[in-house]
């Protein structure tokens, strides 16, 4: 059963007051998901071709839809991205309606109220959402409404990148060859300006203010009175600019330095050095679809001299697709080892720890009950392990909602192999604190480091944080920035011996193969 919601009823009720002539206008509905942009948005373009547009975003209730609840960092991002989207749509007289609940009730109700004959949305690839969208399409068509979904979140559809036996690839290299060929035959659709209801037909009240009121009811920000989270998001705003404009500025900045600037190396040589600005920082914008992967790919192709730097960066875009294609076929990627032999691995796991640790306004870095392995987990999350590169990465994450990719591999390896803690604890922490945490890449990359995933790094590849620091932060610039007390008496001793813990990890792995 799909329950009604009072605030949603108020929102939908406002439509007939604000837009008394909407039924006569026969508007199309655009349902936004993780495609919060106007450019290169095939679904929005299709809706715009079918009349004036009413846009809607539904925060799907995890209890009834099985959608995974967003972490705190992505909630912050979503709030601000929706605000930016509403402002961009308002320039075209398009209202953005923000609802909370079950889309199988809310979207058909919305289409009935405004007499919409056409509904469009961007295709989704995670099983719970795929099933929802298939059911929604069936419901709408039963009402006599045209309902269509469109590609746009990936470089290519999972059905288009298969081997000669029409089976999905499980290894990245052949996948990437097939994907590159598919992408080279694609194109980027520019902005097809949507139109809204003429302002002369509007009732009283500003669209943006209504959207902001709807957003406030979602309580996405920790500063909201309905929440008791510590307000740690001010520091995120110092680093990030959510929204399509921010994404396009990030891309423009990256294109100017992809081949290197002054003494900083280009992307291919500098992407593993955490102290230089060689990476794109586009991942959260791609996660929320504020820019399409096709647009980023095309921008690289249009450069005259991208060379190896452009090719290596495009391989990272293809790795993102690889993760999503694997999630398409394995929707339980965040909870289940892809390599079943790891089910016997003696990783400690406490299924209640994460939800308990986030309750009551705590920042959640320290476990509620720090006995046993949970004490080590708390030191890892807080960046107080006594291992400088690990601590630097974890503090960067807490301060910025982001972590350099090379360091992500190091801290993940340290958790799973040196501390011997289940990769799911790490995946959950990243899910809550990364602004770019998405259902595919987050789980896929954790399983890659742990050794339990498809085409994963072998388990015996254990990143030594000291060796990695010497190689990629030789002058200690990155560590000094995030761990200023390193080298002083106030810095803690390591919580684990790297050599001994490595040997224990390899012995445990050998035990799973017997």
457 is in an annotated binding site: no
CA distance 245 to 190: 15
What length does the chain have? 514
Dihedral in degrees, nearest 10, Cα atoms 200, 203, 207, 213 = 170
Which tokens in the block code for residue 439?
């259902």
Contact predicate 67/42, CB 8 Å: no
172 is in an annotated binding site: no
Write a three-state SS string for 420-457.
CCCHHHHHHHHHHHCCCCCCCHHHHHHHHHHCCCCCCC
292 is in an annotated binding site: no
Which tokens in the block code for residue 79?
């709030």
85 is in an annotated binding site: no
DSSP 8-state class, residue 415: I
What are residue 96's DSSP bridge partners?
55
463 is in an annotated binding site: no
279 is in an annotated binding site: yes
267 is in an annotated binding site: yes
What are residue 53's DSSP bridge partners?
28
| Closest to 32 measured CA to CA, from 80, 106, 84, 96 | 96
Residue with tokens 């796991």: 349
CA distance 152 to 289: 9
Helix or strand run (H / E) with residue 355? helix 353-357
Q: CA end-to-end span of the chain, whole Å?
A: 48
Burial grade of 340 (CB within 10 A; 0-12, 13-18, 19 or more): exposed
Q: What angle do CA 260, 264, 267 make, to 5 degrees?
A: 50
In this structure, the number of other CB atoms found within 10 A of the CB of residue 382 comes to 16
3 is in an annotated binding site: no
Residues making up the annotated binding site are: 267, 279-283, 313, 436-438
Residues making up the annotated binding site for FAD are: 267, 279-283, 313, 436-438
């Amino acid at each position: 059963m799909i329950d009604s919601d009072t605030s949603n009823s108020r929102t939908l009720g406002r439509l007939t007051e604000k837009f008394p002539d909407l039924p006569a206008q026969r508007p199309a509905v655009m349902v936004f998901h993780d495609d919060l942009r106007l450019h290169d948005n095939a679904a929005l373009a299709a809706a715009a071709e079918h009349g004036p547009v009413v846009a809607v975003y539904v925060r799907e209730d995890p209890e009834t839809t099985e959608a995974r609840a967003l972490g705190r960092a992505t909630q912050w991002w979503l709030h601000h991205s929706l605000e930016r989207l509403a402002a961009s749509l308002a320039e075209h007289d398009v209202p953005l309606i923000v609802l909370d609940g079950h889309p199988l009730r809310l979207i058909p109700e919305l289409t009935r109220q405004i007499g919409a004959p056409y509904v469009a949305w961007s295709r989704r690839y995670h099983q719970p959402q795929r099933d929802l969208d298939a059911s929604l399409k069936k419901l709408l068509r039963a009402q006599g409404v045209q309902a269509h979904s469109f590609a746009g979140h990936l470089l290519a559809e999972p059905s288009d990148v298969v081997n000669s036996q029409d089976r999905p690839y499980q290894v990245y290299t052949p996948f990437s060859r097939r994907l590159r060929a598919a992408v080279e035959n694609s194109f980027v659709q520019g902005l097809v300006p949507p139109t809204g209801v003429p302002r002369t037909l509007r009732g009283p009240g500003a669209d943006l203010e209504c959207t902001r009121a709807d957003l406030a009811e979602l309580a996405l920000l920790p500063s909201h009175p309905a929440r008791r989270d510590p307000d740690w998001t001010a520091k995120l705003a110092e680093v990030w600019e959510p929204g399509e404009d921010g994404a396009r500025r990030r891309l423009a900045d990256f294109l100017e330095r992809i081949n290197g600037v002054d003494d900083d190396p280009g992307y291919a040589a500098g992407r593993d050095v955490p102290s230089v600005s060689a990476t794109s920082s586009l991942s959260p914008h791609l996660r929320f679809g504020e820019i399409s992967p096709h647009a980023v790919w095309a921008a690289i192709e249009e450069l005259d001299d991208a060379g190896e730097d452009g090719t290596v960066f495009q391989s990272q875009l293809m790795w993102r697709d690889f993760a999503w294609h694997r999630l398409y076929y394995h929707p339980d990627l965040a909870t289940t080892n892809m390599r079943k032999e790891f089910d016997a691995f003696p990783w400690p796991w406490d299924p209640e720890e994460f939800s308990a640790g986030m309750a009551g306004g705590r920042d959640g870095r320290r476990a509620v009950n720090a006995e046993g392995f949970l004490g080590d987990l708390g030191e890892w999350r807080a960046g107080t392990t006594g291992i400088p590169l690990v601590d630097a990465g974890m503090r960067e994450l807490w301060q910025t909602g982001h972590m350099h990719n090379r360091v992500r591999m190091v801290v993940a390896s340290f958790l799973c192999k040196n501390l011997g803690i289940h990769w799911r604890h790490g995946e959950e922490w990243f899910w809550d604190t990364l602004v770019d945490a998405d259902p595919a890449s987050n789980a896929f990359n954790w399983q890659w480091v742990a050794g339990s995933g498809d085409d994963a790094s072998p388990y015996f590849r254990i990143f030594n944080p000291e060796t990695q620091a010497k190689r990629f932060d030789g002058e200690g610039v990155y560590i000094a920035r995030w761990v200023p007390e390193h080298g002083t008496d106030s810095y803690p001793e390591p919580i684990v011996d790297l050599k001994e813990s490595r040997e224990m990890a390899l012995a445990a792995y050998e035990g799973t193969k017997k």
